[in-house]
Structures are given as C-alpha cells and as structure tokens.
A and B are shown apart, each in its own frame.
Chain A
Amino acid sequence: MKAIVCVKQVPDTQGKVAVKADGTMDRAAMATITNPDDLNAVEAALQLKDATGCEVIVVTMGPAPAEGMLRELMARGADRGVLVSAREFGGSDTFATSQILAAAVNKIGVGPDDIVFCGRQAIDGDTAQVGPQIAEKLHLPQVTYVTDIQKNGNDLVVKRQLEDGYMEIKVQTPCLLTCIKELNTPRYMSISGIFECYDKPLDVFDYNTLKDDPLIEADTIGLKGSPTNVYKSFAPPVKGAGMMVESVDQLVGLLNDKHLI
C-alpha cells in the first residue's frame, strides 16, 4: 500500500510580497514555503504509515530547488521523493498541471490499496482545482475538504467539510482526497529524520520520463497546452483613504447626517 502526496512549493504570501512594475510577481524576491494545506496532506499520509506501515511518496512539480522541500518532508517521515521538472512543463494552468501530475502518479503506479493526497488549495494560484482535476484524469473517486479519515481495509469513511456542517462519505481505495487544516496538526522533522533524509531515494521525472504517457501531448501540457491564459494582470486597486475623525461625537454626527444610523 502507498500514500502518494502532491505538494507544492509556494511563495510566502504572509511575508513580504514583491510585485514587479509590470504587475507580475517577483518570485525571486520572496521566501518559499511548503503550501500549508499540503503539510496536512503529508501528515495524513504519515499517520496512515504509522498505522499500516505503508510507503509515503511526496511528489512536486517545480524547479530544481524544490528538492529542498522534498528532503524536508522526508525528514518528517516520507520515504521517497519525486521531483517533476522540465522546461516543457512551465507555464501550465491547472488543467495542464493536473495532466502532468496525473502522468507522474501513473508512473509511480496507483495500486488497489493506494490513496493519492492533495492539499485543498495552494496559497499562490489559489484555485483548489488541481486535486479534483488529477482525480478525473486518473479516473479515481475524489473527496475534497477532508477533515477526518477512518480506514478499514479498502473502505474509507471520510468527513467532508460543508459551510454549515459536514458530510460523512464512504469511499473505496484507490481514491484521491484533498486535505484542509482541520484534518490534523502536522508533525515536525525529527532529528533522526534529518540525518536520514539525504539517504532516501529522490527521483527526477523529466519530460522524457513521462512523454510516453498518453496524458502528455504537446497540446495538453505547458503554456501551449493550457486552456486558460493570463490576459492582463495588475496590482489591486488602492481605495482612497477616507477621513480620520477626532472623536466619537464627530463620527456619530457624520453617520447621522448621512442617514447611516
């Protein structure tokens, strides 16, 4: 049994965000972190490993330095890393990204007992689309917004968060789950984990590794294979600041004049 976790390295938008004059992000100027929801996905896989001894494989698509993130996740307990990286993959929207990640997961192989985990949403692109799109391309059932997982053989009972409660859903492996922060609290790296992480296997899947998968075509990956394109981008409008008032008296007077109260 395997738990395959898709993890994305993202700019830390909580910190300083650098926007270039042309309205694009200056990624080079920003620190990177592991996408927060993806840490919950990794933790869910590690808990499964604690319970069943399954293998945990972390997969990321991104530039070569993303290896550092994979090593860190191996120090937390993941067994293997896969870095999906090629010039041909650049500029992918969620459709193309999921096409490539699905091919990478196919290469790893999804067995009847396996689970694919994703985060719900990445904090940079912010779409929450990649998980369900991978599931569709792998023909796997999906459950999104997962807050609880109970496993009994090949049967899973999972809780799916709703705006005003939750659904309890039964689903069989193999399947894909997208995780949110309510699911668990991610563990830290362990000292022994840090020592071992550089001895654990890390594979690089480039274009040649994946090109024979039918999902990988010139018109389904990268910028050219992306149905959506960024047409214009710009900094959000700065609203003109209003007025500062000196006292509650003045404020209430103004509100009353404007018939707001």
Chain B
Amino acid sequence: MAEFNAMDTAAFKGVWVFCEQREGQIQTISYQLLSEGRKLANDLGVELCGVVMGSGVNEDYIKALGGYGADRVYYIDSPLLKDYTTDGYAKVMCDLVMEKKPEIVLIGATNLGRDLGPRCAARLHTGLTADCTHLDVDVEKYKEFLRTTSNIDVDNTKFEQNTNLKMTRPAFGGHLMATIICPRFRPQMSTVRPGVMQTQPFDEAGAAKVVVEKITPALTADDIHVQILDIKKSAKKMVDLIGADVVVSVGRGISSDVDKGIALAEELAGVLGGVVGASRAVTDAGWLSSDHQVGQTGKTVHPRIYIALGISGAIQHVAGMQDSETIIAVNKNESAPIFDVASYGIVGDLFKVVPELIKEIRAIKAAN
C-alpha cells in the first residue's frame, strides 16, 4: 500500500457510502446517504458504492441497498466485524479506500460514524467535514442553493468551475453556515446526521441489478485493542422522532405543571398520530429523557407537522426542526423567536390553548 497518495487526486473515482449495520440490521441513515450519494454520483457520472461491514448480514438486506441507489456493494464479512470497534472498522475501511480510491466517502454522523470518520481521515491524511446539511459537486446547483439560503450575492461572486465536493454545515451552534472544501486531498469525506437527508423511494430494478462483492478482510484479533464486554439497550422504548409524521414538542413553558404539560402534549400527539419531542431545557431538567430532544445536539426532524408548545425558539432548537413542512407554535410571549420560523403562531397559554386544540381536532376528525 506504500503507493497510496491522498494528493494524487486524479487517481480517485466513485462515491462511497458507509452503510452502518447494528445487530445485522442496516441503519436507516444508510438509505438517506445512498439517496444523497446517488445524486452526487449522477452529477459526476460515476459509480455509487455501499460499504457494509459485519458478520453474516442477511444477503437480502445487502441487495436492498441497490434499491436506494447503490450500483455496487462491498460487503466485508468477518466475525471480528460483528460489533463495531474503532480499530477493526477503521483498518478495514482505510485498507479498502487505499486499494479502490473513491473520490467521496459519506458516513452517518451517528455515535459510531463520528468515532470512525475522524480516525480514518487522520490515517488517510485527508479532510473530513462534520455534520453536513447540504452537499454539491455541480457548481450551478451549488449557486442555486446559495441563492435560496444565503445572503451571498451569487451573480457577482466568482466560483471556480470544478467538481470538488462543496460541503455545507452549521457551526458556532448554528449561528453560522460554512461551505467547506477539501481540494487537495482525496477522498473528500463528510459525515451527515440522521434525518438530514431524505430517503428516495425504493427502486426494485436497482435492487435487482446491484453488484455485491463479498470480501474477506485481512483482519486479525491482534489488530483490535479493545474488548467489547457488553452492549446494553436502554430498557425503555426510545421515541422514534426521526421517522415521525407529526412531532409535538414541549419546552420550559410547561414548568408550572410539568405532568399536565406532558400529558397534554401526549394527548395532542395521540390525536394527530404523532410523537412527543422536547427542547433541551426539558431534557436537561429530566422531565423527559434525552432521546426526546430536538435540536443541534439532539435530533434533526422534518415531520409533516411540528408543534412547539412553550418553546422560545433558540437557534439550537430551531436547527433541528426548521425544515418541518408545517410548524405551529404556541407561546405566551408574542415576541418569542419561535414565531419567526412558524407557519402558524398562536399567542396564548398552552394550558388553555392545547385542550381547545385537542377538542376541535377531535371534532373535525369525527366529522370528516
């Protein structure tokens, strides 16, 4: 592998997605990344490959990756890859990158991906951009993106004409957006948080024609310097915020009667077929567990309807919900910033507004 040179940019081709599995199940972030990777591969006119590491992963699951856009899947199978270890996964990933030389590698910004990505980028001597919310290779598409999301005077700005990956991400707690490039090194690596990219509809034809290459890695137990003693799932069921159609979130505004506030949110969510989320003020206070937290350091959601009850609308919260289709805010302070992102706002006491809302929605549902 001595000939690997991250600066020989012309030698790198193709878009890769690290497809994470846990307990043999492909994680949904993989489908989101493949859907996004497909667009990049089309713009570049190159192949999209999924990379799966595991032990005895069901072949149907692997083939299904073709249905989300993969032309090819490298499936690296070894008992040593059953559960994630930094050492095992980083070695296999880096060895494969050095051999096949992809130009782009996308990794989910999960607790595993955020452990693996930087380790690999450091070993490969290349750049890694964290928590990207938008990716472009095509300059015109990138300009279009800037036109709709930034204050940049696009028509009077110079853009280099190349297909470098333009990776846009929030920084400084969401107060700033930055587009990062990695022009001199390959692969161009980025992580993307779950829920940020949309999954494209499953395509049967793609699944039928995907090429699966099974690889046995050069990996031995001596390569792995940690020992996994146990993997424990938390006893209670975690709320599925990311997949939810409707999210009803509560904020510190419930503090005068926490139990009642949560009960109201649950009831409203129940009526709309949704789940309950929260601001960090609520999860920090322990009123709801941290898996309910929406925002920069919580989950990114884009449900059809997002309802914010007694949430002020701090930038870190908004970062996780602003792309919801319809946002409804209830807050007793008319100048609360949450109203700046809301499609519909009501100024009022949530303890009065929500019971009324539940009653009226029930009535309409009964009538429809």
Residues of A within 8 A of B (CB): 11, 13-14, 17, 19, 23-25, 93-95, 98, 123-133, 135-137, 141-145, 157, 160-172, 226-239, 241-245, 247-249, 251-252, 254-256, 258, 260-261
Of the candidates A130, A132, A170, A251, the one whose C-beta lies within 8 Å of that of B115 is A132
What are 8 A-B contacts with C-beta separation under 8 Å?
A132-B117, A165-B233, A170-B226, A227-B6, A239-B322, A241-B342, A252-B360, A260-B326
A171 vs B150: C-alpha distance when bound (angstroms):
46
Please state if A142 and B115 are interface contacts (CB–CB under 8 Å).
Answer: yes
What is the minimal beta-carbon distance from B51 to any residue of chain A, in angstroms? 19
Please state if A126 and B170 are interface contacts (CB–CB under 8 Å).
Answer: yes
A241 vs B270: C-alpha distance when bound (angstroms):
27
If A245-B345, A261-B272 are given as contacts, then 13 extra A-B residue pairs at C-beta distance below 8 Å, sorted by A number, are A124-B173, A125-B171, A130-B118, A132-B115, A133-B118, A136-B90, A169-B229, A227-B126, A227-B184, A234-B151, A234-B152, A239-B322, A241-B339
Assess A142 versus B327: contact at CB under 8 Å? Given A164-B234, A260-B304.
Answer: no
A129 vs B125: C-alpha distance when bound (angstroms):
13
Please state if A226 and B173 are interface contacts (CB–CB under 8 Å).
Answer: no
What is the minimal beta-carbon distance from B225 to any residue of chain A, in angstroms? 4
Please state if A236 and B305 are interface contacts (CB–CB under 8 Å).
Answer: no
Assess A133 versus B172: contact at CB under 8 Å? Given A167-B230, A229-B180, A241-B340.
Answer: no
A169 vs B232: C-alpha distance when bound (angstroms):
11
Assess A170 versus B231: contact at CB under 8 Å? Given A228-B182, A233-B178, A252-B361.
Answer: no
Residues in chain A near residue B342, CB distance under 8 A: 241-242
Please state if B232 and A168 are interface contacts (CB–CB under 8 Å).
Answer: yes
Please state if B233 and A129 are interface contacts (CB–CB under 8 Å).
Answer: no
Residues of B within 8 A of A (CB): 6, 83, 86-87, 90, 110-112, 114-115, 117-119, 121-123, 125-131, 146, 148-152, 166, 170-185, 225-234, 238, 272, 291, 304-305, 315, 322, 326-328, 334, 339-347, 353, 356-357, 360-361, 364-365
Please state if A123 and B178 are interface contacts (CB–CB under 8 Å).
Answer: no
Please state if B225 and A145 are interface contacts (CB–CB under 8 Å).
Answer: no
Please state if A126 and B115 are interface contacts (CB–CB under 8 Å).
Answer: no
Please state if B149 and A237 are interface contacts (CB–CB under 8 Å).
Answer: yes
Of the candidates A24, A93, A157, the one whose C-beta lies within 8 Å of that of B127 is A93
Please state if B119 and A166 are interface contacts (CB–CB under 8 Å).
Answer: no
Q: Which of B115, B123, B229 has the most CB of A within 10 A?
A: B115
Residues in chain A near residue B232, CB distance under 8 A: 165-168
Please state if A234 and B177 are interface contacts (CB–CB under 8 Å).
Answer: yes
Residues in chain B near residue A135, CB distance under 8 A: 119
A123 vs B170: C-alpha distance when bound (angstroms):
11
What is the minimal beta-carbon distance from B320 to any residue of chain A, in angstroms? 13
Please state if A167 and B127 are interface contacts (CB–CB under 8 Å).
Answer: no
Assess A129 versus B128: contact at CB under 8 Å? Given A13-B172, A232-B146.
Answer: yes
Assess A17 versus B118: contact at CB under 8 Å? Given A129-B130, A145-B111.
Answer: no
Residues in chain A near residue B184, CB distance under 8 A: 227
Assess A133 versus B122: contact at CB under 8 Å? Given A170-B229, A241-B341.
Answer: yes
Assess A230 versus B179: contact at CB under 8 Å? Given A94-B128, A241-B341.
Answer: yes
What is the minimal beta-carbon distance from A98 to any residue of chain B, in angstroms? 6
Please state if A95 and B150 are interface contacts (CB–CB under 8 Å).
Answer: no
What is the minimal beta-carbon distance from A68 to any residue of chain B, in angstroms? 21
Residues in chain B near residue A125, CB distance under 8 A: 171
Residues in chain B near residue A251, CB distance under 8 A: 328, 344, 346, 357
